[in-house]
Amino acid sequence: SYIYNVKNYGAVGDGITDDAAAIQAAIDAAEKAPWGIVMFPSGTYSIRSALKPVSFITMMGVGIGSKILQAAGNNFNMLESKDRIYHLTITNLRLDGNHAGKTGINLWLDHSILDHLFIENFAGDGINMNDPKISDTLAFLNVIRYCHIGEVDGKGIYIHYPCTDSWIIYNNIGSKNTDIYTEGGPFRVIGNHLDGSPLYNYYNAGGQDTIFTDNICENASLHSIYMVHNPWDKFEEGWCITNNIIRNGSRGTNLTYDFVHLEGISSIAGGFVTISNNVFNYTSGNHTRYAIYVKHFNNVIIANNCFNSDSYAQSPVGLDIGTNKIRLSGNTNNQYSLLNNAAPIINGTNSGSATISGGSTSTIVMHRLGETPSASNIIISPLNNLGNATKYWVSNINNMSFAINVNVAPGKTAAKFVWQAKIE
């Protein structure tokens, strides 16, 4: 590779001189070499016009000490091209819009890497990738990783269809609109911290095969994670939401929005979704409506999540389903509000505790399995001495509850039980 130092092309890096022409000259020179590297030594490179990256080069700084600064009073996208760009790497640079610029990076990319960037102070988006107004050609295998994106008025990362099969990993993003917004897929959204009091932490505007895992989502004004049907895509299938910490949603309006909101349309229902091993938490401010809300989706598994009892107003899971089967299993604090269901709800196993007061001979237990378990699949065990009672059994089993009975009232000591019910 050949290295093209921007200072060798006249860039000053003093934060005052307009270095745009010198930087562009270095970029254009690197384009003529195989895999040229445009090098930005430490300095503040003020620009008064957009820079145009090209294919098959690397734009490299030395970290946050290499800053490209949009000069005050200039309203343009900092890095922008109307061409399709392949195999571009931008790394170890600080892009500062100076509260004047539109978008930090506005490029159509394929097989490209945005890495270790510090993007801040833009009135538009931090990264706007593959806008179909540039080209509607399918793009693949882009990576956005280890970036800090903050103080942007638009979206932190905005990836348009037809960009697909790409990674958004290990970034810290705080925007005022949406932290990450994607269309299409597959996408791997992994290990990000999404904050900044946005409208949404993650907005998936339709598509297939998205993994959203190991992220921290905080302080969304509306839904924390919002996945919806997009009219240009026939199905929304293959979504995995797992191992995330999601807290303090619906900040703008109390009891109105959800931590996770999935919504298809009845005529084209999405499907094949897992929502598992997440922590839904609340620390202060407004409450969400539900932790998880699912409407018009097939074949959904909601399993092994942990819900803070103060995280929601009504119940952890709200389901409005018009098609196929939903499985609810192993969730902590399992209270379900099942709305308008035209299909069975299947919860593999549920468990809890129950008490028969000293003056009573029975208590009702809400198992909320959605189907009626057989008596042999309900196990009850006493936790203490039953007092006057000597026998216990279950009765009145239905799809949501059953009764625990004793032969006589326990007396001074209430009878306490643990129970487990399952569907096979």
Give residue-wise pLDDT tens across range 355-390: 999 999 999 998 877 778 999 999 999 999 999 999
Strand partners, 239: 210, 273
Superfamily of domain 1-176: Single-stranded right-handed beta-helix, Pectin lyase-like (2.160.20.10)
pLDDT (0 to 100) of residue 76: 96
How many CB atoms sit inside 10 A of residue 265's CB? 14
CATH topology of domain 349-422: Immunoglobulin-like (2.60.40)
Q: Which parts of the chain have pLDDT scores under 50? A: 311, 322-323, 341-343
pLDDT (0 to 100) of residue 345: 53
Give yes or no for a contact between 70 and 124, defined as CB atoms under 8 angstroms apart: no
SS3 236: coil
**Beta strands in 235-390, from DSSP E residues, in sequence order:** 237-242, 245-247, 260-263, 270-276, 279-281, 288-295, 297-303, 306-307, 312-320, 326-329, 336-339, 345-346, 349-356, 362-366, 378-382
Q: Is the dihedral of CA 65, 66, 71, 76 positive or negative?
A: negative
pLDDT (0 to 100) of residue 323: 45
- Alpha-carbon distance of 259 to 281, in angstroms, equals 9
pLDDT (0 to 100) of residue 306: 82
Global confidence as pTM: 0.81
Q: What is the largest CA-CA distance in the chain?
A: 95
Distances in Å between the alpha carbon of 169 and those of 128, 181, 205? 16, 14, 19
List the domain boundaries for the chain. 1-176, 183-347, 349-422
pLDDT (0 to 100) of residue 267: 60
Query: What tokens appear for 268 in the block?
Result: 């084209």
